[in-house]
Amino acid sequence: MPVTDPVNVRKPGERAAGLQVNGFAPVGGPVRSRRKRAEMLSPDRFDRPLIANARLRPRSGWRALASDLTSGRWTPGPSPRELRSRERERQIAAPLRRRHVVAFFCLKGGIGKTSVTAATSLAMADLRADPVLAVDANPDAGDLAERLLGHASSGIAALARDAGEISSLDDLSRYTVAADRLTVLPGEPNPMLGDSLSGADFETVLDVVSTYYSLINVDCGTGVSHPVMRGVLSHTDTAVIPASWSITGARRAAETVQWLSKNGFEDLARRSVVVLVAKDSVSHQIDKEAVRHYLGRTGDVILVPADPHIADGAQMRWEQMARPTQNAFLDAAAAIARHFSSE
């Protein structure tokens, strides 16, 4: 009669501890074995990613050609210049958590304020996923819509009057016009109507458009004492101040920042962006480096080179601007967008 070890005797249907079924221990197996399997299958156990990181495909130049000729098998990656351009685009496209109002204004007229508003707005609208609205709040016969569309139009005074009737984007579109991907709320070509706008009127308009637009660029007049300007500045998050290489143009830009600081808008003064436009030729007596240093004390300074398409005063088209001009306005848009992250 065989000798049976009573310790190892199993009842019918009972499995031995640690016995594997189809390569796995039974549910009733030791806790230690299950824990060890979980550790082995944890993603932290993999030293290398299962999918290799794909290199960015260059957009132009010999790098893009090399990638195309090898069907992507050899991709040298973007150049440092392209990487900077991609980073700038990323900044401009940054999402907004709340409404952001940008006021374009200066104490001096005739230095390209409306051109800066139009070009910067076009740059932002082209790269952002959300719609961008440019508002002409210049009470002195604003021509923002004319610069962008080639013909005069009106809208802000009528919208302020009919604000209670706006309940949808379709309703609002009766007062706006489109320039490519940019939406524009025209000002008033009639100076009598424009001059009648008040700060309360602008706040009414702002309340309406904020339902449908988060980024709102406002082309302002030069009269900071006008009632509408108090309404604009009290809701402004970033101030963009156009300037020129001339002595008076540079001084007026600096004086605009000083005016902000002395009239209760210290935060705006610190968050200002100066756009220095080379509109006309100046004599060699102007020390351009001194002008840059003088304006650089206020905040970011963006240099826009001379461009006949901007200086002509005709309808502005993004594709007709010289590449350096486009880059300058993209820099201005990125400088504005860098304030988004601080909100």
pLDDT(283) > 60: no
Average pLDDT over residues 172-193: 88
Query: What is the pLDDT at residue 54?
Result: 60
**pTM of the predicted protein model:** 0.76
Is the distance from CB of 206 to CB of 156 less than 8 angstroms? no
52-76: burial string, b at 16+ Cβ within 10 Å, e else: eeeeeebeeeebbeebeeeeeeebe
Strand ordering across the sheet containing 100-104: 177-179, 182-185, 132-136, 215-219, 100-104, 238-244, 273-277, 300-304
User: What pLDDT, in 10s, does the model give residues 105-152?
Assistant: 988 777 789 999 999 999 999 999 999 999 999 988 788 999 999 888
> How far, in Å, CA of 274 to CA of 249, rounded?
11
Average pLDDT over residues 291-314: 81
> How far, in Å, CA of 291 to CA of 152, rounded?
35
* Amino acid residing at 178: A
Token representation of residue 43: 């993603």
Query: What is the pLDDT at residue 86?
Result: 87
Distances (CA, A) of 49 to 43, 45, 46: 9, 11, 7
> How far, in Å, CA of 39 to CA of 33, rounded?
10
Length of the chain, in residues: 343
Query: What is the pLDDT at residue 188?
Result: 83
Q: CA nearest 116: which of 219, 17, 25, 27?
A: 219
Strand partners, 219: 104, 136
Look at 58 and 144; give whichever has higher pLDDT: 144
Q: CA nearest 222: which of 158, 147, 140?
A: 140
The secondary structure of the chain in percent helix, strand, coil, rounded to multiples of 5, reads 45, 10, 45
Is the distance from CB of 102 to CB of 236 less than 8 angstroms? yes
> How far, in Å, CA of 95 to CA of 214, rounded?
10
Indicate the DSSP class of residue 164.
Answer: G
Planar angle of CA 188, 192, 193, nearest 5 degrees: 45
pLDDT(44) > 60: no
Query: What is the pLDDT at residue 192?
Result: 65
Residue 249 CA to chain centroid, in angstroms? 27
Token representation of residue 170: 């379709």
pLDDT(82) > 80: no
Query: What is the pLDDT at residue 123?
Result: 97
CA dihedral of 223, 227, 230, 233, whole degrees rounded to 10 = -50
Q: CA nearest 194: which of 114, 138, 134?
A: 138
Query: What is the pLDDT at residue 271?
Result: 84
When mean pLDDT is compared across 5-14, 36-45, 158-167, the lowest value belongs to 5-14
Is the distance from CB of 197 to CB of 156 less than 8 angstroms? yes
